[in-house]
């Protein structure tokens, strides 16, 4: 099957990102065949480092798809980078504003149009000291329930060893092992016919991130915690657009 066409900006970003993934670490791609080669897909990923979108983008692109991220709207204001974001079809997220719902509407439309949409439901890189997924926003549940599309879990591990933003550490050498893995599509049948309310959105969000957490436990080779780390001051029922999503093509 031919590759989904991304245009000039996607091609330009690929020229930069492909060698960057090699330079930053020895990375393994696992479960690439779980990215649908055509049609809509919602990819739900953990977020441990600002390098994650680079690897997510290349992974999805190697699956012959154009990755479309939900990404914070401020990225569109950066010279050149803003053109890349707009030209490659990324979806701006307006957090804590009346425009937040527009982000979900745009992402839903992208799925209706048969695109591959990527979301980091935690909203930013995890604050969990051990690197596990933290309590997430419910925008991901809204997207997963908006239409019957494949929901694919994805995890990154090793990128934090290269760049730890909170501790201001960049350690590209010696080259670290980085793993990006996709799991099997998540069965959403138990939730499809239920009324969509705050309780269901919370339940679905926790279920989706539980699958992501368990997939990460497989990659890490250690047991996953039972719950999710909560940041101080975080509203438990938050349903904003679901992502600060830094980046990419």
Q: Is residue 138 pLDDT above 70, yes or no?
A: yes
Query: What is the residue whose two structure tokens read 């979806």?
Result: 91
Domain boundaries, position 86: 7-220
- Mean pLDDT across 195-215: 97
| The three-state (H, E, C) secondary structure of 218-249, written as one string | HHHCCCCCCCCECCCCCCCCCCCCCCCCCCCC
In the prediction, which pLDDT does 57 show?
Answer: 97
> Among the listed ranges 3-12, 95-104, 143-152, 183-192, which one has the minimum average pLDDT value?
95-104
In the prediction, which pLDDT does 1 show?
Answer: 60
In the prediction, which pLDDT does 88 show?
Answer: 84
Q: For residues 230 and 236, give the distance between their C-alpha atoms in angstroms, rounded to a whole number.
A: 9
Closest CA to 191 of 241, 141, 140: 141
**How many structural domains compose the chain?**
1
Q: Is residue 8 pLDDT above 80, yes or no?
A: yes
Residue 52 belongs to a domain with what CATH number? 3.40.1130.10
Q: pLDDT averaged over the chain? A: 88
In the prediction, which pLDDT does 239 show?
Answer: 38
- Mean pLDDT across 82-105: 78
Q: Sort strands 169-170 and 41-45 into parallel, antiparallel or unpaired.
A: unpaired
Q: Is residue 236 pLDDT above 90, yes or no?
A: no
Mark out the alpha helices in 46-173 (DSSP H runs).
52-62, 81-87, 100-112, 139-146, 159-162
Residue 235 placed within a domain: no
Q: 122 falls in which pLDDT band (50, 70, 90)?
A: very high
> How distant, in Å, are the alpha carbons of 9, 76, 128, 239 from that of 88?
5, 12, 32, 26
Phi/psi at 27 (nearest 5 deg)?
Answer: -110, 145
Residue 230 placed within a domain: no
Task: Tell whether pTM > 0.85.
Answer: yes
């Amino acid at each position: 099957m031919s590759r989904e066409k991304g245009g000039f900006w996607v091609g330009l970003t690929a020229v930069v990102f492909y060698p960057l993934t090699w330079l930053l670490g020895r990375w393994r791609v696992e479960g690439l065949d779980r990215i649908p080669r055509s049609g809509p897909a919602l990819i739900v990923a953990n977020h441990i480092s600002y390098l994650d979108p680079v690897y997510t983008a290349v992974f999805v692109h190697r699956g012959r798809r154009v990755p479309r991220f939900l990404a914070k709207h401020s990225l569109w204001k950066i010279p050149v980078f803003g053109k890349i974001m707009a030209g490659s079809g990324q979806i701006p997220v307006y957090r804590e504003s009346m425009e937040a719902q527009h982000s979900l509407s745009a992402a839903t439309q992208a799925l209706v149009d048969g695109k591959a949409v990527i979301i980091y439901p935690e909203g930013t890189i995890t604050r969990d000291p051990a690197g596990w997924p933290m309590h997430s926003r419910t925008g991901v549940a809204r997207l997963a329930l908006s239409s019957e599309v494949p929901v694919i879990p994805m995890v990154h591990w090793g990128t934090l060893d290269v760049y730890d933003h909170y501790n201001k550490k960049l350690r590209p050498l010696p080259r670290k092992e980085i793993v990006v893995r996709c799991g099997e599509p998540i069965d959403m049948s138990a939730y499809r016919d239920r009324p969509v309310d705050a309780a269901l959105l919370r339940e679905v969000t926790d279920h989706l991130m539980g699958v992501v957490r368990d997939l990460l436990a497989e990659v890490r080779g250690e047991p996953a915690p039972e719950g999710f780390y909560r940041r101080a001051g975080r509203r438990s029922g938050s349903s904003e657009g679901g992502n600060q999503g830094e980046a990419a093509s």
